[in-house]
Amino acid sequence: KVFLATAFSSTSPKEVAVLKDCLFCIDDKGIIDRIVHPEHDDYDSILNEYVNTHAFYKIDEGSYLLPGFIDLHIHASQWAQAGTALDIPLHDWLSTYTFPSEAKFADLDYAKLVYEDVVSTLLANGTTTALYFATVHKEASVLLADICAKQGQRGLVGKVVMDLAQECPDFYRDADTQTALQDTEEFILEVKKIAETTKQGVYPVVTPRFIPTCTDEVLEGLGALAAKYDTHIQSHCSESDWAHQHVQQRFGKNDAQALNDFGLLQDKSVMAHSNFLSDEDAKLFAETGSAIAHCPVSNAYFANSVIPIAKFARMGVDIGLGSDISGGFSPSLYDNSRQAVMSSRMLEDGVNPDLPTEERGVKDSRITIAEAFHLVTAGGGASLSLPIGRLEEGYAWDVQRIDTTIPTAKLPLFDPDEPLLDIFQKMMYLVRPENIRDVWVQGELVHSRN
């Protein structure tokens, strides 16, 4: 396939490349084989070769391509309760709303209903890759991987492990430690089998919910399983004061250190939130290649804090964005990108004009919308150690077409000479699902909106 389009891609945390009127040549595997700029000698010959074939896609004027977004932390099962109970503390929210809601996924018909809807909703919002928490149920978790495979989304799916009786209700936890580990191993093997049938890949993820709901034995066993099968790992780390202190009291150390001791921090680890990492913890993340899934909307509700993301990025930690449905209410990573910028500005805050010598906030915390775009594309790809999130040779053709001319969601573009980087910023701030007209994953069209 060859696409003729103007596209944007993050080349570094602060820089966005404008790929104006380029030819994007996609191979049979859905990988970008070549990007040919109009100045290149081959441009006209490639154009002439493809222009009248059905392998040629000319993107209309007023439409632009962005890489598909990467959701580094989402509870697929919690889609059923998104937008509710955001006004109570994390511990109460888990026990009174979330655990009963997740327990319903023992019913596979119910699971199918919710999981098909969340996958298609994410695709409609431009999310081409998602790192999912499912529930403790093995069968329903395999079903989520199967639904990702069928809808063409690159899903990384975890069967949730929670086996510590003191912190988990009887109606919702793994039967016992051995069963939790055995179910996880069987889950890994079943998802690997599903993956063989897909072009885009689906991946099993080792998923201890978080230290407070897991026994030492299960954490150790999960670290060993991840090593044995070379899987991704995900969990929650230092999210709230309550969770952070729980780990301190149990182990006399921070979450990050404890997770590392169980073999759970490695190159393919993604830890949600990680708000209260010390500098030592952040160094451990950088050294092990572990990534942070920054969940800015959720953090406003359940963490009551803003993570100093700019500082951790400067320390060399891989960072991407997560919606954290349903700790965060929005399935849109546009909304989360906007909140990431706004939260970072509130953390920085600046100087009180009445007290000009007194700095408020944390210096050098601000991020720009280009940096948020980096998090939600290239940063997410680096966090997962997958060749996704950039429009460069060797990367997957995971792309969203943004139509800025939709009558009900038109972008304010009045000047015919508007600089393309200004159009990019307007898209990041103003795009709604109506503007996301086509979505491709690994070269295949997986969503279209008329």
Contact residues toward ligand GUN (CB under 6 A) are: 75, 90, 94, 98, 209-210, 236, 239, 298, 302, 324, 327
162 interface partner picked from Fe ion, ligand GUN, none, CB below 5 to 8 A per type: none
255 interface partner picked from ligand GUN, Fe ion, none, CB below 5 to 8 A per type: none
Sign of dihedral through CA atoms 281, 284, 288, 292? positive
Q: DSSP secondary structure string, 392-441?
A: STTSB--EEEEETT-GGG------TT--HHHHHHHHHHH--GGGEEEEEE
Q: How far is the CB of 309 from ligand GUN (least distance, A)?
A: 17
Residue with tokens 């154009």, as numbered in its chain: 47
73/401 with CB nearer Fe ion: 73
**Binding piece for Fe ion, criterion CB under 5 A, among 1-9, 144-152, 319-327, 343-351:** 319-327
The CB density around residue 261, as the number of other CB atoms within 10 Å, is: 15
- Closest C-alpha to 214, from 191, 247, 261: 247
371 interface partner picked from Fe ion, ligand GUN, none, CB below 5 to 8 A per type: none
Q: What does the alpha-carbon distance between residue 167 and residue 318 come to, in Å, rounded to a whole number? A: 31
C-alpha dist (Å) from residue 142 to 100, 166, 186, 271: 20, 27, 10, 22
281 interface partner picked from ligand GUN, Fe ion, none, CB below 5 to 8 A per type: none
Q: What does the alpha-carbon distance between residue 223 and residue 136 come to, in Å, rounded to a whole number? A: 17
302/424 with CB nearer ligand GUN: 302
Q: How many CA atoms lie within 13 A of 21 on its CB side?
A: 7
Residues 6+ apart with CB under 8 A from 76: 114, 115, 118, 119, 130, 132, 133, 134, 144, 157, 325
Q: How far is the CB of 356 from ligand GUN (least distance, A)?
A: 38
Q: How far is the CB of 155 from ligand GUN (least distance, A)?
A: 18
209 interface partner picked from Fe ion, ligand GUN, none, CB below 5 to 8 A per type: ligand GUN
Residue 419 in tokens: 């600089």
Over 289-328, what HEC string results?
CCEEEECHHHHHHHHCCCCCHHHHHHCCCEEEECCCECCE
Q: How far is the CB of 53 from ligand GUN (least distance, A)?
A: 48
239 interface partner picked from ligand GUN, Fe ion, none, CB below 5 to 8 A per type: ligand GUN
**Binding piece for Fe ion, criterion CB under 5 A, among 23-31, 103-111, 208-216, 321-329:** 321-329
Q: How far is the CB of 39 from Fe ion (least distance, A)?
A: 46
Q: How far is the CB of 364 from Fe ion (least distance, A)?
A: 27
SS3 for 373?
Answer: helix
138/246 with CB nearer ligand GUN: 246
Interface pick for Fe ion out of 318, 324, 403, 438 (rule CB under 5 A): 324
**Binding piece for Fe ion, criterion CB under 5 A, among 168-176, 178-186, 205-213, 318-326:** 318-326
160 interface partner picked from Fe ion, ligand GUN, none, CB below 5 to 8 A per type: none
428 interface partner picked from Fe ion, ligand GUN, none, CB below 5 to 8 A per type: none
302 interface partner picked from ligand GUN, Fe ion, none, CB below 5 to 8 A per type: ligand GUN
Query: Which ranges in 321-396 belong to alpha helices (H)?
Result: 333-348, 369-374, 380-384
237/402 with CB nearer ligand GUN: 237
Contact 386, 395 (CB under 8 A): no
Using CB under 5 A as the binding rule, the residues of this chain from 260 to 279 that contact Fe ion are 272
- Closest C-alpha to 387, from 129, 73, 172: 129
Q: How far is the CB of 163 from ligand GUN (least distance, A)?
A: 14
Q: How far is the CB of 78 from ligand GUN (least distance, A)?
A: 6
Q: What does the alpha-carbon distance between residue 35 and residue 43 come to, in Å, rounded to a whole number? A: 10
238/400 with CB nearer ligand GUN: 238
Residue nearest to Fe ion (CB): 324
Q: How far is the CB of 57 from ligand GUN (least distance, A)?
A: 39
105 interface partner picked from Fe ion, ligand GUN, none, CB below 5 to 8 A per type: none
**Chain-centre distance of CA 441, in angstroms?**
15
Q: How far is the CB of 280 from ligand GUN (least distance, A)?
A: 22
- Closest C-alpha to 69, from 399, 445, 401: 399
Beta strands in 154-268 (DSSP E): 154-161, 203-208, 232-237
Beta strands in 139-268 (DSSP E): 154-161, 203-208, 232-237
Question: Is cis: bond before 45, omega within 30 of 0?
Answer: no
Q: How far is the CB of 29 from ligand GUN (least distance, A)?
A: 35
101/377 with CB nearer ligand GUN: 101
155/327 with CB nearer ligand GUN: 327
424 interface partner picked from ligand GUN, Fe ion, none, CB below 5 to 8 A per type: none
Q: List interacting residues with Fe ion (CB under 5 A).
A: 272, 324
